[in-house]
Amino acid sequence: MTLTALINPAVLILEDGTKFTGKAIGKIGTTTGEICFNTGMTGYQEVFTDPSYFGQMLLATNDHIGNYGVKNDEIESDSIKISGLICKNYASYHSRAQANSSLNDYFIQGNLVGISDVDTRQIVKHIRSKGAMNCIISSEITDEAELKRLLSLVPSMEGLELSSKVTTSNSYFYGNPDATYRVAVLDLGVKKNILRCFEERDVYMQVFPGDTSFETMMAWNPDGFFISNGPGDPGAMDYAVKTVQEILAADKKMFGICLGNQIMAEAVGMKTFKMHNGHRGLNHPVKNLITGRSEITSQNHGFAVNADSPGRENIEITHINLNDNTIEGIRIKGKQAFAVQFHPESSPGPHDSRYLFDDFVKMLSA
């Protein structure tokens, strides 16, 4: 493969055959995944490194991407997690003095293939109507029939287990060993800022691989358990559901975010479903049914908990999405366990929901 100088042509083909042509960005090559769009106007580096995006082709709706380059400490994991980027205007130069490199250099180093100079508004309107689907980007293959053949081999996100691709290989510690509280983190694709938010609240963590047993985590004698965000279909994660069921059976204190919310619901008998498009952005309105207040939230999920599924009697719905009334938060009845579908740790993004970390720490101290 050769590296792009931002002059190479590239093509984007959707699963339904719709084709767009533009310019290559990042590394010259071919990449595939499920197309999704994020409406955030800032924070692209945090989005690109969010493990929950593993296997997905990100369509940025903000007109300009790359203007402020990249900074080494503005990451949510140690590598780029998106499969590809689709954007309108791509900045090959950046203006922020604090930046460590340009976005294009960052993409080349991370082997990220993308396409710019396409009508992102048209693409968003198309997939909002047709729904989530796979796509392929290539800046090296010109044979459309070959691209469609490669695209046909890409598995559907529905039924796909991906957390094992992004979880830590070995457990590790995070925070101050002399902190007041100890929390075992089940890493299904945890974001770094979640760990930072716990650390700021006097919590010491041991982060465990996603397939770690309840017994192994309990051997550390934690005060509580955290079930993280992550990619893929929660319905394909029996191993994580089993672990959460065992945590609930032992009546341990537990908090979950995003995928953790779905896994917790599955653990009490509820089902999840693949959404038409999902929620991804920094401005999703959520109502807290306990306080009656509305919150602006950061979100990134393509699956949701089915409110009408069996097991509904085992939960209390605590938050709902004000756009489509989907479940955004739950409490497990009779247990010290709660979870939300959105991201209270969002950075950049709204901080309306940071209180959830405080609520969990109060639970640990009780």
280, 39 contact by CB (below 8 A): yes
What are the catalytic residues? 258, 343, 345
Q: With contact defined as beta carbons under 8 Å apart, do 333 and 316 qualify? A: yes
Share of the chain above pLDDT 90, in %: 95
Closest alpha carbon to 299 in 318, 322, 270: 322
CATH among 3.90.1170.50, 3.40.50.880, 1.10.10.10, 3.40.50.20 for 163-365: 3.40.50.880
- With 90 as the cut, is the pLDDT of residue 3 above it? no
**Strands of the 294-305 sheet, one edge to the other:** 172-174, 203-209, 181-187, 224-227, 254-257, 337-340, 327-332, 315-321, 272-288, 294-305
Structure confidence by residue, pLDDT tens digits, 244-300: 999 999 999 999 999 999 999 999 999 999 999 999 999 999 999 999 999 999 999
| pLDDT confidence of residue 5 | 45
Q: What is the pLDDT of residues 190-231, one digit of tens each?
A: 999 999 999 999 999 999 999 999 999 999 999 999 999 999
Q: Note the pLDDT tens digit of each residue in 79-121.
A: 999 999 999 999 988 999 999 999 999 999 999 999 999 999 9
- Could you name the CATH architecture of 9-152? 3-Layer(bba) Sandwich (3.50)
Domain ranges of the chain: 9-152, 163-365
